[in-house]
């Protein structure tokens, strides 16, 4: 896969060895400050998904609205590989620096636009359409960001410090995540009850300041020495896309990059960074402010681990560090989330252990509970029963009943007959829903299923420890990914080639992880079932990496291979 790669002291590597110190620090700062800004903007939506769902997706049930909100979050990720192709080509043809400026401007404009966009109540269906368009622009811009930043820093770095230097990009990206959570918490405190009315807009509008700072710093950047050497030698690729996607040698590199590195890495990343917030607030019914505080503190504590992971992958290699993360995450993912339930909402954990809950229904009336467009209406008694239990954060089984039998929810020794909403008027459906939900909630209360996590029972220290474990494993997966991808591809097509598998995986595999996991759990009736999605990808990458991923930490980035 890497025949012809040799560690030499020529070209840009010699330049990089001599160019450390203040110059390298400026390079890292220039690349990282934009990453802080872009990750702040792009992940802000994740922290406010529930609020945005209520503002832009009115008129649908709560479960569908939440899945729709998560999907809108995922739309930005879907666009990332498109951005990787577009901006990767630009970066390989005209340079890394100018490409950075374009991506950051697009990101800033689209983010401020979200903060200024009227809601569904004001402009109707145009609101979610414009929102999705802005999210697509954000994803497009981010698709050109990380690959360029990692390439730029690595091409300025000496061989033995590429992992450590590029780890600063990942670390400062996490600072962007922290900043988004911190701004949300501060805005909640300042606006109080008005936060869900108009206060949620302020964190988006605040990004104007970050845009100005990032532009000022990035305009002072110099082009990477590796790209300058190719340009001065008239050796730039005339067709980066053709070389990347149509030449078999590079196609093999892309497949290894996607399945051995990026697929598993992105699932480890989003399982540690985003999924816990959704799981704590939506499934375990933990107060959003309390959950964000614990997540923010854990992320802050783990930020220095990015630099440690960078040192480790320089010392021991990209492959062993990456595979260690995959193995440990595969072993611990289910125990950690089970433990999170026990410590965040012990009453729910106890009730689920002691009281069996199941839906008895005709299997033919039970739909697949995934409605990404928000257009489907779940009106059968089976769907209504399962949806109500999912909203309550209750795990349950679905058992087959006689054909045509109305669905019944069993909570221990008690049972509640569900209703069929097909053919009912809106008023009658609302009356039936109110009656059914009241009866179901009464039985759940009697059985000990809490409506929300009791603040005094929320064991913050233990949830904090669990999050630290997840985030530590995430650093071991994320940090080696940047230098490993940079080192897999030749300079002339490096920006395009490394950006595509990274952003394809981050967008299509990891970006949709919260949506898919939540939908799988809703379908199966088990709050942990959705974890099988990241588990499968992590195990696949572990196996593929073991057999096909070669170590690259000592390769010469100036080599044409």
CATH number for the domain including 397?
A: 3.40.30
Q: Which residue, 416, 447, 478, sits at the end of a domain?
A: 447
pLDDT on residue 41? 76
DSSP for 288-324? Answer: HHHHHHHHHHHHHHHHHHHHHHHHHHHHT-HHHHHHH
Q: How confident is the model at residue 416 (pLDDT cuts 50, 70, 90)?
A: very high
Domain extent for 192: 11-345+456-548
Query: Are residues 466 and 529 located together in one domain of the fold?
Result: yes
Residue 538 · residue 264 · CB < 8 Å: yes
Q: Is the pLDDT of residue 365 over 80?
A: yes
Same domain for 92 and 226:
yes
* Greatest mean pLDDT range, 80-89, 341-350, 506-515: 341-350
pLDDT tier for residue 19 given thresholds of 50, 70 and 90 = very low
Longest dimension (CA), the chain: 80
Which of the two residues, 503 and 42, has the higher pLDDT score?
Answer: 503
pLDDT of 9 above 50: no
Q: Looking at the domain assignment, is residue 6 inside a domain?
A: no
Neighbours of 180 (CB within 10 A): 26
For the segment 46-71, the average pLDDT, to the nearest whole number, is 68
Give the per-residue pLDDT at 33. 78
Question: Do both 421 and 492 map to the same domain?
Answer: no
One domain for residues 317 and 405: no
Residue 155 lies in a domain: yes
Portion of the chain with pLDDT greater than 90, in percent = 47
* pLDDT at residue 126, rounded to an integer: 83
Residue 484 β-bridge partners: none
Cα separation values, 373 from 61, 376, 381, Å = 13, 8, 22
Lookup result for tokens 């990914």: 481
Whole-number pLDDT of residue 21? 53
pLDDT for position 4: 39
Residues 6+ apart with CB under 8 A from 273: 177, 299, 471, 474
Q: Which of 52-66, 129-143, 365-379, 486-500 has the highest mean pLDDT?
A: 486-500
Residue 6 reports pLDDT greater than 70: no
3-state SS assignment for residue 357? strand
Number of neighbours of residue 438 by Cβ within 10 angstroms? 11
DSSP-based three-state secondary structure for 259: helix
Domain assignment present for residue 79? The answer is yes
> 273 with 371, same domain?
no
Higher pLDDT, 429 or 3: 429
Are residues 415 and 339 located together in one domain of the fold? Answer: no
Of 51-65, 336-350, 506-520, which gets the smallest average pLDDT? 51-65
Q: Is 1 contained in some domain?
A: no
Tokens of residue 293, six digits: 């505080």
Is residue 41 in a domain? yes
If one counts the domains in the chain, the total is 2
Mean pLDDT for all residues in the chain: 86
Residues 512, 419, single domain; the answer is no
Q: What is the pLDDT of residue 200?
A: 92
Tokens matching residue 296: 């923010």
Specify the 3-state DSSP secondary structure of 398.
Answer: strand
**To the nearest whole percent, how much of the chain has pLDDT over 70?**
91
Give the tokens for residue 466.
């669990």
364 or 218: which leads in pLDDT: 364
Q: Look at residue 371 in the predicted model and tell me its pLDDT.
A: 58
Higher pLDDT: 26 or 356? It is 356
Please indicate, yes or no, whether residues 251 and 379 belong to a single structural domain of this protein.
Answer: no
Lowest mean pLDDT among 188-192, 256-260, 421-425: 421-425
359: left (phi over 0), alpha (psi -120 to 50) or beta: beta
User: What's this model's pTM, rounded to 2 decimal places?
Assistant: 0.84
Query: What's the mean pLDDT in 531-539?
Result: 97
Pick 286 or 49 by higher pLDDT.
286
What number of other Cβ atoms are within 10 A of residue 216's Cβ? 10
Same domain, 494 and 372: no
- Judge whether residue 64 has pLDDT over 70: no
Same domain, 442 and 337: no
Per-residue confidence (pLDDT) for residue 7, from 0 to 100: 39
Q: What pLDDT is recorded for position 516?
A: 83
Residue 560 located in a structural domain: no
Task: Answer for the pair 238, 501: CB distance below 8 angstroms, yes or no.
Answer: no
408 has which bridge partners? 360, 417
Rounded distance, CA 409 to CA 535, Å?
Answer: 31
Instruction: Please state, in angstroms and rounded to a whole number, the distance separating the CA atoms of residues 558 and 561.
Output: 9
| Domain boundary pick from 402, 428, 447 | 447
Q: What is the structure's pLDDT at 17?
A: 44
pLDDT value, residue 69? 64
Using alpha carbons only, give the angle 271, 391, 416 rounded to the nearest 5 degrees.
140
Query: For position 277, which CATH number holds?
Result: 1.20.1250.20
Please tell me whether residues 29 and 64 are part of one structural domain: yes
Structural domain contains residue 557: no
On whether residue 2 sits in a domain, the answer given is no
How much is the average pLDDT of 199-215?
89
pLDDT for residue 73? 65
Backbone phi and psi for residue 347, each to the nearest 5 degrees, phi listed first: -65, -40
d(CA 495, CA 493): 6
pLDDT, average across residues 230-255: 89
Please state, in angstroms and rounded to a whole number, the distance separating the CA atoms of residues 88 and 485: 14
Is residue 8 predicted with pLDDT exceeding 70?
no
Check residue 74 and give its pLDDT: 66
Residues 87/143, Cβ–Cβ less than 8 Å: yes
Say whether pLDDT at 18 is over 60.
no
* Most confident range, picked from 200-204, 282-286, 427-431, 465-469: 465-469
- 210 and 141 share one domain: yes
**Domain stops at, among 394, 421, 447:** 447
Q: Return the pLDDT at 3.
A: 40
**Mean pLDDT for the stretch of residues 210-216:** 85
C-alpha–C-alpha distance, residues 463 and 303, integer Å: 18
Burial string for 420-431 (b: 16+ CB within 10 Å, else e) reads bbeeeeeeebee
Digit-coded pLDDT (tens) for 96-106: 778 878 888 88
Highest mean pLDDT among 37-51, 138-152, 449-463, 511-525: 449-463
């Amino acid at each position: 896969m890497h025949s012809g790669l040799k560690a030499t002291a020529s070209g840009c590597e010699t330049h990089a060895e001599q160019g450390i110190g203040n110059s390298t620090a400026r390079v890292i700062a220039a690349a990282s400050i934009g990453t802080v800004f872009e990750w702040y903007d792009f992940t802000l939506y994740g922290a406010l998904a529930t609020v945005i769902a209520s503002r832009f997706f009115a008129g649908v049930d709560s479960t569908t609205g939440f899945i729709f909100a998560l999907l809108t979050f995922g739309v930005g990720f879907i666009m990332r590989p498109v951005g990787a192709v577009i901006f990767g080509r630009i970066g390989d043809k005209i340079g890394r620096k100018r490409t950075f400026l374009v991506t950051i401007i697009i990101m800033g404009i689209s983010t401020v636009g979200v903060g200024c966009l009227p809601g569904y109540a004001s402009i109707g269906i145009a609101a979610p359409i414009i929102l999705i368009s802005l999210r697509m622009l954000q994803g497009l811009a981010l698709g050109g960001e990380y690959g360029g930043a990692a390439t730029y820093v690595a091409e300025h770095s000496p061989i033995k410090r590429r992992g450590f230097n590029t780890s600063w990009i990942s670390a400062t990206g996490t600072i962007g995540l922290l900043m988004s959570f911190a701004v949300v918490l501060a805005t909640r405190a300042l606006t109080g009850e008005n936060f869900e009315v108009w206060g949620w807009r302020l964190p988006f509008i605040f990004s104007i300041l970050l845009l100005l700072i990032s532009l000022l710093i990035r305009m002072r950047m110099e082009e990477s020495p590796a790209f300058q050497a190719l340009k001065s030698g008239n050796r730039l690729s005339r067709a980066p896309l053709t070389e990347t996607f149509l030449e078999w040698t590079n196609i093999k590199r892309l497949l290894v990059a996607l399945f051995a590195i990026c697929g598993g890495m992105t699932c480890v990343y989003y399982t540690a960074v985003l999924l816990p917030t959704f799981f704590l607030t939506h499934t375990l019914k933990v107060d959003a402010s309390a959950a964000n505080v614990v997540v923010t503190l854990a992320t802050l504590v783990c930020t220095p681990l990015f630099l440690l992971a960078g040192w480790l992958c320089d010392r021991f290699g990209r492959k062993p560090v990456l595979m260690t993360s995959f193995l440990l995450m595969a072993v611990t993912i289910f125990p950690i989330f089970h433990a999170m339930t026990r410590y965040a909402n012990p009453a729910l954990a106890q009730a689920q252990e002691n009281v069996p809950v199941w839906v008895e229904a005709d299997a033919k009336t039970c739909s697949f509970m995934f409605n990404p467009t928000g257009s489907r209406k779940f009106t059968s008694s089976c769907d209504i029963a399962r949806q109500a239990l999912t909203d309550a954060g209750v795990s349950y089984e679905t058992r087959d009943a006689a054909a045509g039998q109305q669905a019944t929810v069993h909570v221990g020794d008690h049972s509640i007959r569900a209703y069929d909403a097909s053919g009912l008027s809106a008023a009658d459906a609302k009356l039936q829903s109110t009656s059914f939900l009241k009866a179901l909630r009464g039985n759940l209360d009697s059985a000990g299923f809490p409506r929300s996590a009791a603040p005094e029972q929320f064991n913050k220290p233990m949830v904090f420890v669990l999050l630290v474990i997840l985030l530590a494993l995430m650093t071991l997966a994320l940090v080696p990914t940047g230098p490993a991808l940079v080192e897999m591809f030749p300079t002339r097509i490096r920006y395009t080639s490394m950006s595509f598998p990274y952003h394809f995986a981050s967008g299509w595999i990891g970006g949709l992880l919260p949506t898919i996991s939540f939908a799988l759990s809703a379908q199966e009736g088990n709050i942990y079932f959705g974890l099988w999605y990241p588990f499968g990808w992590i195990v696949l990458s572990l196996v593929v990496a073991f057999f096909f991923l070669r170590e690259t930490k000592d390769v010469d980035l100036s080599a044409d291979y």
